[in-house]
Structure 1
Amino acid sequence: MQTYVALLYSIILGEGRRVVMADLKSMAEELGLKNVRTLVATGNLVFEARTGEISKLEQRLEQTFEKTFGRHVDIIVRGAEDWLKLAASNPFPGESAEAGDQVAVRVMRERVPADAVEALQVHAGVDEKVLWVNGDIWLVFSRERPSSRLLAAANHKRFGVGTSRNWNTVRRLAEIVRGIGE
């Protein structure tokens, strides 16, 4: 068995309807996943499954989600080791310690080329930062401005399938992954 982290791009099903984490957990268990855990109400799963191709696991999760909830949602899966590497590669440890909700990573299904992130720099405010690390995009957002052009610019159209999680969520998912392995 292998531990995995799955991130849903969206849990909004329609006007006023969101996926309840207990229902998401039940869906995963019905799919045969073991030791399923959720984290906060934003579509994060940690579970165990037989070792296999991540793309096939993503497809199974997406198909089952659509059958269960009536809507397609992109789901990005990472193995435990890869998730722990992602968390350890945070290029903004100082900012993360000060304001973990202002640091985020856009976790990508397919690696983004390093030079593609340069295009995001034009959208960053003077107090915002963007870095490419191992195919994912790390961002530091401004506390001074209520909305950032940076987040909107790091979208599916520009970079492909991915989803963002703030540092607090990344760190807590890593803690869950470590706990399962103990």
Structure 2
Amino acid sequence: MTEPTASPFVALLCAVNVGGTGRLPMSDLRDLCASVGFGAVRTYIASGNVVFTARLGADGARTVLEDALREYAGKPVGALIRTPGELARVRDANPFAGAVPSRVGVTFLDAPPETDTAERAAGATGEQIALGAREIYVHYPDGMGRSRLRLPPSAGRATTRNMNTVTRLAALAAEAS
């Protein structure tokens, strides 16, 4: 029986290094990923983005990573896992491709967003919302930091990255393939 080959993945951690909470130095994240057997580990900016290879499927990699993060942090830390192809599709499906990339946010979800997500959002003042496969795209014409938009809570894990980050992670993931 042959051992499975390592596949590349991107992990997007939830609530890491946001607003002074959830501090996780990226060097610690790289070390943690290596310690659980992930290979070719690379992090990107200090918001909990890590590209790696694993001999597990996406669900297995998420479980191993979340277990290690729980032990490290002393509390649950959620992670969303995407393959290089999935991340490239998120980038390519951007419905606001003409907008400034730093003003387009992608909220990654465990499951497809509910069809009434845009209608249930609160505090919108010009933001545009579009639904993806397991993502919610938001164009923030005045910037994310000024927005009062609140998306309805998701049933599972959720974390947001701007389109600049999504594009860079897609490129790093493609290099790992």
The residue aligned with 1:23 is: 28
Matches within 5 A, 1:25-174: 25-52=30-57, 54-95=58-99, 99-120=100-121, 123-126=123-126, 128-143=127-142, 146-150=145-149, 153-154=150-151, 157-174=153-170
| C-alpha contact (below 8 Å) 1:117/1:137 kept by paired residues | no
SS at match of 1:93: coil
The alpha-carbon distance between structure 1 residues 28 and 94, as it changes in their structure 2 partners (threshold 3 A), is same
1:145 to partner: Cα distance:
8.4
Gaps spanning 5+ residues in structure 1: where? none
Question: TM-score normalized by structure 2?
Answer: 0.87
SS at match of 1:110: coil
1:10 aligns with 2:15: yes
The alpha-carbon distance between structure 1 residues 63 and 17, as it changes in their structure 2 partners (threshold 3 A), is closer
Percent identity (aligned): 29
Single out whichever of 111-120 and 22-31 deviates more from structure 2. Answer: 111-120
The alpha-carbon distance between structure 1 residues 73 and 178, as it changes in their structure 2 partners (threshold 3 A), is same
The alpha-carbon distance between structure 1 residues 164 and 21, as it changes in their structure 2 partners (threshold 3 A), is same
Gaps spanning 5+ residues in structure 2: where? 1-5
Partner letter of residue 136 of structure 1?
E
The alpha-carbon distance between structure 1 residues 173 and 145, as it changes in their structure 2 partners (threshold 3 A), is closer
Partner letter of residue 23 of structure 1?
D
Q: Which runs of 4+ in 1 moved over 6 A?
A: 13-17
1:159 to partner: Cα distance:
4.8
1:64 to partner: Cα distance:
0.4
Q: How many angstroms apart in 2 are the aligned matches of 1:145 and 1:91?
A: 17
Q: How many angstroms apart in 1 are the aligned matches of 2:21 and 2:56?
A: 37
Q: How many angstroms apart in 1 are the aligned matches of 2:83 and 2:38?
A: 14
Partner letter of residue 131 of structure 2?
W
Partner letter of residue 178 of structure 1?
A
| C-alpha contact (below 8 Å) 2:15/2:21 kept by paired residues | no
| C-alpha contact (below 8 Å) 2:17/2:46 kept by paired residues | no
More helix, by proportion: 1
The residue aligned with 2:175 is: 179
| C-alpha contact (below 8 Å) 1:123/1:149 kept by paired residues | yes
1:140 to partner: Cα distance:
0.9
